[in-house]
Amino acid sequence: MNLDRTITLGDAPLGWRDLVAVARDGARLVLSPAAWARMANARAIVDCIVARDERAYGVSTGLGALSNVLLHGDQLAQLSKNTLLSHAVGVGPLLSVPQTRAILFAALANFAQGYSGLQPKVVDGLLALLNLEITPCVPSQGSVGYLSHMAHIGVTLLGVGDVQWQGRTLPAAEALAANGLQPLVLGAKDGLCLVNGTPCMTGLAALALADVERLADWADVISAMSFEALRGQIDAFDADILALKPHPGMQQVGRHLRSLLDGSEVVASSRGLRTQDALSIRSLPQIHGACRDQIAHAARQIDIELNSVTDNPLLLGSPQAYRVMSQANPHGESVAMAADLLRIAVAELGGVAERRIDRLVNPLVSGLPAFLVSEPGVNSGLMITQYTAASLAGENRRLAQPVVVDNFVTSGNQEDHVSLGTTAALDLHQSLLNLNQILAIEFLLAAQAFEFLKTQSFGRGTGRAWRLLREHVPAYHVDRFLAPDIAQTAELLRDPAALQGLLP
């Protein structure tokens, strides 16, 4: 737990960086008094509905295709418990701890709006899971938009299932008891609230944005090194030329590249070497910039969703004058499309990086020793790293296919259009893992190319990046076990602090 930072839900809009601070960095989460008051008001409306035996979807009726079945008395609490147990049907590998914590954060952000109606003690239980770092074991597969992931989180409050706590996996009931917590007894609507909305896809997509942003920065740094190693023509990055096509991302990448390459004797001595470069190095501002613009658009969509009310039904008004509104805010079309768009950007960043990798190892176009080794022939050098990059880039192309249009019918034709937003977000996480490896390979190769050019000075930023890598991975002289080099470089790229001082 990061005791130095506390994030407060309920008074002002939050962004995806706040979610990352809690989910990944361990910041403490609290809800404002105003948020608790809003939730208490909505719960009082639920209590009125129950006391008056009124018909309201999910409060006094069954769910989905069973929405016309009216329930009474003890059946309402039993419905909530049964909802969690019957919806906890996920399969496959578990989500990581930060991924599950991200979902928890997004769920609490939704509840803090005060339109859901679950008991405040349930919210208190979810907060305790986050702040005590008791993380439910949540299978990653099985969601067409929502439901199953949150159900696995919800059953933890009942003392059901397993959790990860203090570095080990143990029964939820045992972890609760060790922290002085009792399993909860749910009431009307609690179960539906816990499985509803878009926290799964929103939390996962918001968490991914930290990696997207970091890797977009690394793509600029590493591609500048490749540009320099391949003795690119710097006029392509001229500020006056780029200003004639004023996409914001393109201007940002242009500034990055000019700063990174500033002072490079290699670049200065290469002027006029060729009329123009291949597109994979000449059009870095255009390609990387377009990706940055799409990332910015997707981030806006995800931030809006993170601050939205996504439950169903919603409880408006006061116990004296209320409305119970059945609607479709839990539909995650916006987040699903944003995650699809991000995977396209990630695939493009990785795809063009693979093209640069190919040029670095190919002596026909690089002007460098074959496969970046001093004695090619007896040494294969870095030849096969391009194969790995091509494989990963190919996988990212497949993962870039839109998920949101691949639709299904569920719940007896009641839910006949689903977003598949959680799948879209999980695919995004896999795409980012692949991009991290592709850029690690390019970093290795560009740095190795620098070994053959170091009689001249490098750019202010590119030289610093080269020296940074050499603190972790030595130069390549003869063939050696390469997988650890890739792994070490990939780990370096995961460290946000490593970028400090490289970009303006």
Pair 175, 269 in one domain: no
**147 and 221 both lie in a single domain:** no
Q: Kindly state the helix (H) or strand (E) to which residue 392 belongs, with its residue range.
A: helix 383-399
Report angle CA 331, 333, 337 to the nearest 5 degrees. 155
How many domains would you assign to the chain? 2
Where a domain ends, among 196, 229, 250? 196
- CA nearest 255: which of 229, 204, 221? 221
For residues 45 and 102, state if they share a domain.
yes
Instruction: Give the pLDDT band of residue 391 (cuts 50, 70, 90).
Output: very high
* Segments forming the whole domain that contains residue 12: 2-196
Portion of the chain with pLDDT greater than 90, in percent = 83
Determine what percent of the chain is predicted with pLDDT higher than 70.
Answer: 96
Q: Of 196, 225, 259, which closes a domain?
A: 196
Is 57 a residue of the active site?
A: yes
Distance of CA 162 to the CA centre of its chain: 24
* Backbone angle region of 247, left / alpha / beta, with phi > 0 → left and psi within -120 to 50 → alpha: beta
Whether 183 and 224 map to the same domain: the answer is no
102 and 238 part of one domain: no
Within a domain: residue 396? Answer: yes
- Which of these is catalytic: 57, 146, 322, 476? 57
**Cα dist from 11 to 109, 191, 234, 358, whole Å:** 11, 26, 49, 51
| Average pLDDT over the chain, rounded to an integer | 93
Whether residues 177 and 225 share a domain: the answer is no
- What is the C-alpha to C-alpha distance for residues 108 and 110, in angstroms, rounded to an integer? 5
pLDDT digits (tens, 9 = 90+) for 323-376: 998 888 888 889 999 999 999 999 999 999 999 999 999 999 999 999 998 887
Please check whether residue 187 lies inside any domain of the structure.
Answer: yes
Q: Can you tell me the distance from the alpha carbon of 236 to that of 248, in angstroms, rounded to the nearest whole number?
A: 17
Mean per-residue pLDDT for 185-189?
94
Number of H helices, E strands in the chain: 20, 9
Write out the two tokens for 441.
Answer: 């390979």
With beta carbons less than 8 A apart as the criterion, state whether 103 and 149 touch: yes
**213 and 190 in a common domain:** no
Q: In Å, what is the CA distance from 155 to each residue of 9, 88, 109?
A: 24, 8, 19
> pTM value?
0.94
> What's the pLDDT score for residue 415?
59
Give pLDDT tens digits for 190-241.
999 999 889 999 999 999 999 999 999 999 999 999 999 999 999 999 999 9
* 376 shares a domain with 414: yes
| Statement to judge: residues 292 and 400 lie in one domain | yes
Lowest mean pLDDT among 39-48, 104-113, 329-338: 329-338
Look at residue 411 and tell me whether its pLDDT is greater than 70.
Answer: no
Q: Is residue 274 part of a domain?
A: yes
- Residues 350, 210 within the same domain: yes
What are the residues whose beta carbons fall under 8 Å from the beta carbon of 488, sequence distance 6 or more? 472, 473
First-residue to last-residue Cα distance in the chain? 32
User: Domain containing 135 — which CATH number?
Assistant: 1.10.275.10
Give me the helices (H) in 24-73, please.
33-52
Pick the last residue of a domain from 168, 196, 224.
196
- Give the pLDDT of residue 413: 47
Are 230 and 126 in the same domain?
no
CATH number at 302 reads 1.20.200.10
- pLDDT of 393 reads 98
Residue 504 lies in a domain: no
Residues 6+ apart with CB under 8 A from 298: 205, 209, 338, 339, 341, 342, 345
Dihedral sign (CA 402, 301, 129, 38): negative
56 lies in a domain? Answer: yes
180 and 91 belong to one structural domain: yes
| Position 404 confidence tier, pLDDT thresholds 50, 70, 90 | confident
Neighbours of 131 (CB within 10 A): 16
